[in-house]
Chain A
Amino acid sequence: MDVITARYPVAEKKDLAVIRRFTEAVMAAIGVEQEIASELVLAVHEATANVIIHGYKDQPGCVVIEIAQAGKDLQIKLRDQAPTFDPTTVPTPDVSVPLGQQPYSGMGVHMMRSFTDELRYRVTDEGENELILVKFDAIQT
């Protein structure tokens, strides 16, 4: 399995654009189909934005992104040292509610779920949050 890693030791909100560009570049380099790549970039953005804004409460903090290719599948691991929080427990918002009456919370996680095939969370042995985003058949042959 080929793994590409990016470590942002003091990631802040302003680094989200850099992280999006990194993710885009890796997707292009390994041949992820364009539409899937765009969606995965958004999923990674939402995951890292949640960590920086809610986990680190807008303070600089470490974020590690590992993108691994296994055949045609793609696995993206995000690790951080914010207080442990499992985003997979966030309820799915009811998007059928009229726009003006929609509660806003949970939209980022909803986008992550929508743009991936699997979303898994665990606390590592080092006590870090680890979120794994999986997309099957993402790589063009």
Chain B
Amino acid sequence: MEITISQDDGRVPVTVFHLQGDLADEEPLWSQAQQAYVDGTRYLLLDMRKVPSITSAGLRAIHEVYQLLRSDAPEESDEVVRKGIASGSYTSGHLKLLKPSKTAMKSLSVAGYDMFLDIYKKYAEAIASF
């Protein structure tokens, strides 16, 4: 897995991780996300256009990154998330995904992540959604 990083602007500054290769381990995604968080990233788009598949370890990395980004975001507290999901209005404000492959999408779907993470097909739409 290779990760290149770029910055873009929606309504907020967005860090974009361009992932390339199978997401088959927690590293390097988890460590890169931790470093980005330390450097000030609070809104992250995972560009998954070049990720053929995601294993359970890769899902765990996404899970951990999701938790990290909402850790100091009161608008994504457990209670707010619960209410948002119940009312159908929840969006994952701090972490979004761009165009996972069919196989990667299957992993996300099997794990139920597609219910809780915003997934976009177009880069511009994904950036504008933050």
- In the complex, chain B residues whose CB is within 8 Å of the CB of A39: 103, 106
**With A16-B24, A42-B55 as given contacts, are A35 and B81 in contact (CB-CB < 8 Å)?**
no
Does B78 belong to the interface (CB within 8 Å)?
yes
Complexed CA–CA distance, A130 and B67 (Å): 36
Complexed CA–CA distance, A98 and B106 (Å): 18
Complexed CA–CA distance, A75 and B22 (Å): 24
Does B59 belong to the interface (CB within 8 Å)?
yes
Q: Is the interface of A mostly helix, strand, loop or mixed?
A: helix
User: Is A96 touching B70 in the complex (CB atoms < 8 A)?
Assistant: no
**With A20-B24, A99-B117 as given contacts, are A107 and B59 in contact (CB-CB < 8 Å)?**
yes
- In the complex, chain A residues whose CB is within 8 Å of the CB of B102: 35, 38
**With A20-B24, A42-B103, A101-B78 as given contacts, are A49 and B55 in contact (CB-CB < 8 Å)?**
yes
Does A135 belong to the interface (CB within 8 Å)?
no
Complexed CA–CA distance, A115 and B54 (Å): 13
16 contacts between A and B (CB under 8 A): A35-B102, A38-B52, A38-B106, A95-B111, A96-B115, A98-B78, A98-B82, A99-B116, A99-B117, A100-B67, A100-B78, A102-B63, A102-B112, A107-B56, A108-B55, A111-B110
Query: Could you list which residues of chain A lie within 8 angstroms of chain B, going by C-beta atoms?
Result: 16-17, 20, 35, 38-39, 41-42, 45-46, 49, 95-102, 104, 107-108, 110-111, 114-115
Query: Could you list which residues of chain B lie within 8 angstroms of chain A, going by C-beta atoms?
Result: 22, 24, 52-53, 55-57, 59-60, 63, 66-67, 70, 78, 81-82, 85, 92, 102-103, 106-107, 110-113, 115-117
